Amino acid sequence: MKTEQFTILLNNEPGVLNKILSKMSKSSINILGLTINETGSFGELRLIVDKLQEAKNLFKKLGITANTVKVLVVETDNKPGQLSNIAAILSKEDINIDYIYTISSTGKKAYTVVKTWNMEETEELFTEHGINMVSIETLTD
């Protein structure tokens, strides 16, 4: 069950992220997951939101190029070893993890975004190993 994630390259300078986040807030677009990586003079922003089309429209209005990428959001128990288990399953099958980041955790559950170089096989492996993949709707309940 793949989820769409936005990837946006930003100038690495004060105020750039705030401009985008404040416009999203004013448009009532809820951010469900966010990570940003510094790559010299640029930052790579990754976002998962509750209102995909509204976000696409907003980015276009702001003149922001936002690529969409399919990722998997997995639900695990919120305890040590869960991410190690995911990494071991993929490693055993020689699947490289492009990136992974956690987006939420509650008392008993944790939610993690996974992007690999072979998403189809990753999805099959997760299903085979009983790793629960969730939709955006699960995160907004």
**According to the model, what pLDDT value does residue 68 have?**
95
Contact 80, 119 (CB under 8 A): no
Distance of CA 63 to the CA centre of its chain: 22
- pLDDT, one tens digit per residue, over 55-91 is 999 999 999 999 999 999 999 999 999 999 999 999 9
- pLDDT, one tens digit per residue, over 92-114 is 999 999 999 988 777 888 999 99
- pLDDT, one tens digit per residue, over 127-140 is 999 999 998 887 77
Whether the predicted pLDDT of 1 surpasses 90? no
| Number of other CB atoms surrounding residue 23 within 10 Å | 16
Tell me the two tokens of residue 23: 């416009």
| Cα 5 to Cα 44: distance, rounded to the nearest angstrom | 12
Mean of the per-residue pLDDT values for the chain? 92
- Stated pTM of the model: 0.88
| Burial class for 103, CB neighbours closer than 10 Å (0-12, 13-18, 19+) | middle
Which pLDDT band, with edges at 50, 70 and 90, does 51 fall under? very high
Whether the predicted pLDDT of 126 surpasses 90? yes
Largest separation between any pair of C-alpha atoms in the chain: 45
Tell me the two tokens of residue 51: 């209102």
Can you list the alpha helix ranges (DSSP code H) found in the chain?
16-26, 52-61, 82-92, 119-128, 136-140
